[in-house]
Structure 1
Amino acid sequence: MLIFSSCLFMFYFGMIMFFMKKKHILMMLLSLEFLSLIMLLLLINFLCGFLYDFNILIYFIIILVCEAVMGLCLLTLMVRTHGSDYSKCLLIYSC
């Protein structure tokens, strides 16, 4: 129960960091990765408690890696085209 409550506290902390760091897209991506790692810990805790098969963890980790690579690729493309990772730069160029 202590692991679940600490993971829940870290999840709330990650959500707060995600909503507070709206200026830099890199910080938003890092907080999303933190949230996904916390979800992985919760999934491991759930699967250990009920003695399920752990093959779903491999699929979940593959999805996490693909999400991280796609986010970094989009961030790299945005920095190359717009010059920075500020989210307000995107609003200037959209008009």
Structure 2
Amino acid sequence: MVVNSLCFFFMYFIGLVVLCLKCKHLLLMLLSLEFIVLSLYLGLFFLMIFYNYEYYFSMIYISMSVCEGSLGLSILVLMMRSYGNDYFQSFSSLW
């Protein structure tokens, strides 16, 4: 169980580091957010295995994360069509 939780924490913090370091591109931020969601799913799944819970909540969680990912991708496509790139500096409303 210790190896599983270390793997979960390692995945989570790597996702947070990538999210903080690659903040110029929207696509890289969306990918790192999906990686964080998958690591949280892995941690939730390990927790449910450890306590012998039902796995129904994990199916609800993964379906909500798929909806979140598709919404982020649709916003990315909308911004790419409007502005031509996925840099955050071109989205500034102060210009």
Q: Do both share a fold (TM > 0.5)?
A: yes
Match of 2:25 in 1: 24
Q: Deviations over 1:31-57 (max 9, x none)?
A: 000000000000000000000111101
Match of 2:44 in 1: 43
Give me the whole-angstrom Cα distance separating, in 2, the residues matched to 1:61 and 1:11. Answer: 16
Structure 1 gaps, min length 5? none
- Give the TM-score taking structure 2 as reference length: 0.95
Please tell me the root mean square deviation across aligned C-alpha atoms, in Å.
0.9
- Give the TM-score taking structure 1 as reference length: 0.95
Match of 2:10 in 1: 9
Aligned residue for 2:24, secondary structure, equals: coil
Runs of 4+ deviating beyond 2 Å: none
Q: Map 1:13-92 to 2 at 5 A.
A: 13-91=14-92
Deviation at 1:94, TM superposition (A): 4.3
Deviation at 1:9, TM superposition (A): 1.2
Count of matched residue positions in the alignment of Structure 1 and Structure 2: 94
